[in-house]
Amino acid sequence: MKKNVTAMLLALGLVALAVFQLVETNKEAEASAGYAKEMVYNKPVPSFTLQGLDGKQYAIGGEREKPVMINFWASWCGPCQEEAPALKSVYDKYGDRFDLYAVNVTRQDRMADVQAFVKQNGFSFPILLDKEGKTAEMYRILFVPTSFLIDRHGKLQEVIHVLPPDQLEKRIQRLIQS
């Protein structure tokens, strides 16, 4: 009798676990669907305004004179450190034909480290501070670095992560020509 009760309780526990996992899987699927609805290629990206490290306000979204690359990063991120020279290089070479905004996920970073990272890498493009993490959430940033290539019409063309410098340059050239 005790074995039957134990077996029944075990079976009920397994069923409860399976139901819980199904619910969680559905939540993840809905979240992914939300991502797809908000960040669809050739559709407008969410607009935002952030303060830059220079104290100025920067508004991103909608029609622009030049295409734009939005790069989400953090100073403690190893791949961000690897990517930094390539970002500087493409901006130095093509900065008159596209805008580059490096959005620091500041809520997960220290300001002194942000400033040191920018100085060490010689960035001349605007560094935006996502102090509350709302912009990273809006863009569904799961890890850094993540970059968004956006055309002059404010439409998403590509989402990229760390690329070799020559491939990043090709992507920027293609963005400029779009």
Q: What is the pLDDT of residues 104-163, one digit of tens each?
A: 998 889 999 999 999 999 999 999 999 999 999 999 999 999 999 999 999 999 999 999
How much is the average pLDDT of 67-72? Answer: 98
Burial class (CB in 10 A: 0-12, 13-18, 19+), 108: middle
* Total Cβ atoms within 10 A of residue 129: 19
Backbone angles phi, psi at 103, to 5 degrees: -95, 110
> How confident is residue 6, by pLDDT bands cut at 50, 70 and 90?
low
The model's pTM is 0.78
Q: Specify whether the CB–CB gap between 104 and 75 falls below 8 A.
A: yes
pLDDT at residue 14 greater than cutoff 60: no
pLDDT value for 26: 39
Percentage of the residues of the chain whose pLDDT score is greater than 90? 74
SS3 106: helix
| Burial of residue 148, with CB atoms counted within 10 A of its CB: 0-12 exposed, 13-18 middle, 19 or more buried | buried
Which residue has tokens 């050239």? 173
